[in-house]
A and B are shown apart, each in its own frame.
Chain A
């Protein structure tokens, strides 16, 4: 499977993009002469130049540096939200899938309820309860993804539950928690990982969107969404802020999506090598 992944063109491009991005973030953080919040009122709204590779914004802050820090924040938020949502959702899903019965029926109804909310509405409701800020965004992303992972984990677990090797595992005398952990989980991990990498991309979109309307990451923390919000205000005078930030977001999402696609292709059982 790993070999398929490495040989997949899609995965290669996706990985290249993400590796490049992460390297860029690290290097910029280390070597940029600017801090993201360094205001230079002498140099506001400067077009890209040798001193400011991506130009400056309306406060004279270096756009490239802000993008790097902002991207890091966005990625961290998305990542933490996905991990949290993924873990909770997977646990709920596997328990429901394995045991079924009343627990399954009740829990899945709650999951369905969550799932039926439009994403942004759900996120906004949560923000109302928790207040604004980066951690709230992270929790919102987690909440959005709990039903996704729960449903996926549940259907995979239900399918696996009746597999012969699970019956064999029961006959060996394995306890149910042990079976879930050691027998079921390794077999459902693959689609869950694909879901995770696909979700990362959307998490970025969600975060950027929420920050764009001012509900997400709060200044002074740099954020791609906030930058885009600012950038749109003075787009005629300094188009590079909005455009370059937007392009960066697109770039990151592209990389994450390709990575996810590559993972998905690698998991495809048709492509997996079997002795015929």
Chain B
């Protein structure tokens, strides 16, 4: 299957208050039709900025560069503002962490649905809305449509948002931590929903999250980000069975330890490095239990360890 989204050498530098923050470094990934790519990282990893860059919604004071940034046939780097606007929502869409901000608090849900569907030239909006809401497991459609955003729970709003995003049948959906603010039960339902939609709509997802377990439940492939770089990428099962990058290993161990209710949780010592002063070598070196001298001085490239897997680590680099 051809790639729906092709990204290589993506870099984003933010101009924040006379400092330049290199928030996305040399990110290369591709997304195939009907696949879910889990983008895992903690705050400061660059995962949200990467997501925004894919929609060309990067902040104003910033420089974006890439070798390739293509959505299907369209080069997103050179596309005009109007072309981008036409693409957003219809070909590539984003679901944000906090659904509340996506709605106009003074308008009913029905109004929002009408806005979205009218814009896509869909008549008979009420029927179509019924269908869409049913797809996201909302049965009390009339009541929901008459409600105001603040009258619905977070989980409900998120599902409505997903329904509206789906209305336009985008090829690529970028979901940025869509379940973080929701409780476990609702989260599971939404994840199951995503899984179903992947099959029924053939849409490709980039699922951005900090939660390893959530990513594992949903993704076909996983990319782990740290300090703006992708440090490991590959099929989900492979990465969880045999994680290669020390950061990935630490993350998985922590998640598993919490579930096993271990006596003491494994810690990752230290803190994230400043994005203004990225070290020459590996960004994770200062926290890595396998640190070598070369780690601090070499610019580390991705190593292809298997046909489907890549790791950015000297431990796996060819001798």
Number of interface residues of B (CB under 8 A): 10
Q: Are B44 and A273 in contact (CB under 8 A)?
A: no
A128 close to B (CB within 8 Å): no
A174 close to B (CB within 8 Å): no
B 1-45 contacts with A by CB, 8 A: 16-19, 21, 23, 43-44
Chain B binding surface, main DSSP class = loop
Q: Are A273 and B275 in contact (CB under 8 A)?
A: no
A276 close to B (CB within 8 Å): yes
B 238-268 contacts with A by CB, 8 A: none
Collect the chain A residues with CB atoms within 8 Å of residue B44's CB.
276
Q: Are A4 and B17 in contact (CB under 8 A)?
A: yes
Q: What interface size band does chain A fall in?
A: under 10
A272 close to B (CB within 8 Å): yes
Chain A binding surface, main DSSP class = loop
Q: Are B17 and A273 in contact (CB under 8 A)?
A: yes
Q: Are B18 and A7 in contact (CB under 8 A)?
A: yes
A275→B18 CA distance, assembly (Å): 14
A172 close to B (CB within 8 Å): no
For residue A151, give the distance in angstroms from its CB to the closest CB of chain B: 25
A30 close to B (CB within 8 Å): no
For residue B274, give the distance in angstroms from its CB to the closest CB of chain A: 8
Q: Are B17 and A271 in contact (CB under 8 A)?
A: yes
Residue of A nearest to B275 (CB): A276
Residue of A nearest to B44 (CB): A276
For residue A270, give the distance in angstroms from its CB to the closest CB of chain B: 9
Q: Are B275 and A272 in contact (CB under 8 A)?
A: no
Q: Are B17 and A272 in contact (CB under 8 A)?
A: yes
For residue A10, give the distance in angstroms from its CB to the closest CB of chain B: 15
Q: Are A276 and B21 in contact (CB under 8 A)?
A: yes
Residue of B nearest to A268 (CB): B17
Collect the chain B residues with CB atoms within 8 Å of residue A7's CB.
18
Please list the residues of chain B having a beta carbon within 8 angstroms of any beta carbon in chain A.
Answer: 16-19, 21, 23, 43-44, 274-275
- Report the 5 A-B pairs with minimum CB-CB distance, sorted nearest first: A271-B17, A273-B17, A276-B44, A276-B275, A276-B21
Sample 11 A-B pairs with CB under 8 A, ordered by A number.
Answer: A7-B18, A271-B17, A272-B17, A273-B16, A275-B274, A276-B16, A276-B21, A276-B23, A276-B43, A276-B44, A276-B275
10 new A-B contacts at CB < 8 Å, known A271-B17, A276-B16, A276-B275: A4-B17, A7-B18, A272-B17, A273-B16, A273-B17, A273-B19, A275-B274, A276-B23, A276-B43, A276-B44
